[in-house]
């Protein structure tokens, strides 16, 4: 046990966060995301019993967002014609705004299949048990100052 570290962050995830360098990306995936097939060249961490928001909040306590790019946070865009609400995105905005002065301006969207391609290049993918649709979020690591 360590003081000041959110208990949801496992030793494996802490190690991954430490290993990541500037501009490396990590995906927090919802329960429907094909984490194992997308993560063939990445580290896949299973967190099936947890939601994406709680994982995001914990990671952001330790993880600086990249200040050298306009949108260090990316969401999977809703497919046109897919009539789905995404209230979880507001929770993501609150989490990002709590740690980054850009707030929601730091968050962009990527078309579904482009998101998959970017996820294949991520350093790690966290497979959560999140049930919300379109709850996939990708973070780009910044510099620790």
Catalytic (active-site) positions: 22, 66, 116
Q: Do 36 and 70 meet the contact criterion of CB atoms below 8 Å apart?
A: no
Collapsing DSSP to helix, strand or coil, 141 comes out as strand
CB-based contacts of 107-113 (< 8 A; 24+ apart in sequence): 107/71, 107/73, 107/74, 107/75, 108/70, 108/71, 108/73, 108/74, 108/75, 109/74, 109/75, 109/76, 109/77, 110/74, 110/75, 110/76, 110/77, 110/138, 111/77, 112/76, 112/77, 112/79
Q: Which of 62, 35, 61, 42 lies closest to 135, judged by CA?
A: 35
């Amino acid at each position: 046990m360590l003081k000041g570290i959110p208990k949801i962050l496992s030793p494996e995830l802490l190690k991954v966060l430490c290993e990541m360098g500037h501009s490396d990306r990590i995906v927090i995936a919802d329960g429907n995301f094909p984490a194992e097939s997308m993560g063939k060249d990445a580290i896949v961490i299973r967190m099936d019993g947890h939601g994406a928001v709680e994982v995001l909040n914990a990671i952001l306590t330790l993880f600086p967002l990249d200040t050298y790019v306009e949108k260090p946070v990316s969401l999977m865009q809703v497919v046109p014609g897919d009539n789905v609400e995404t209230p979880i995105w507001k929770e993501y905005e609150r989490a990002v705004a709590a740690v980054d002065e850009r707030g929601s301006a730091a968050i962009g969207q990527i078309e579904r299949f482009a998101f998959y391609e970017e996820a294949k290049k991520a350093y790690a993918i966290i497979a959560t048990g999140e049930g919300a649709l379109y709850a996939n979020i990708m973070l780009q690591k910044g510099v620790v100052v």
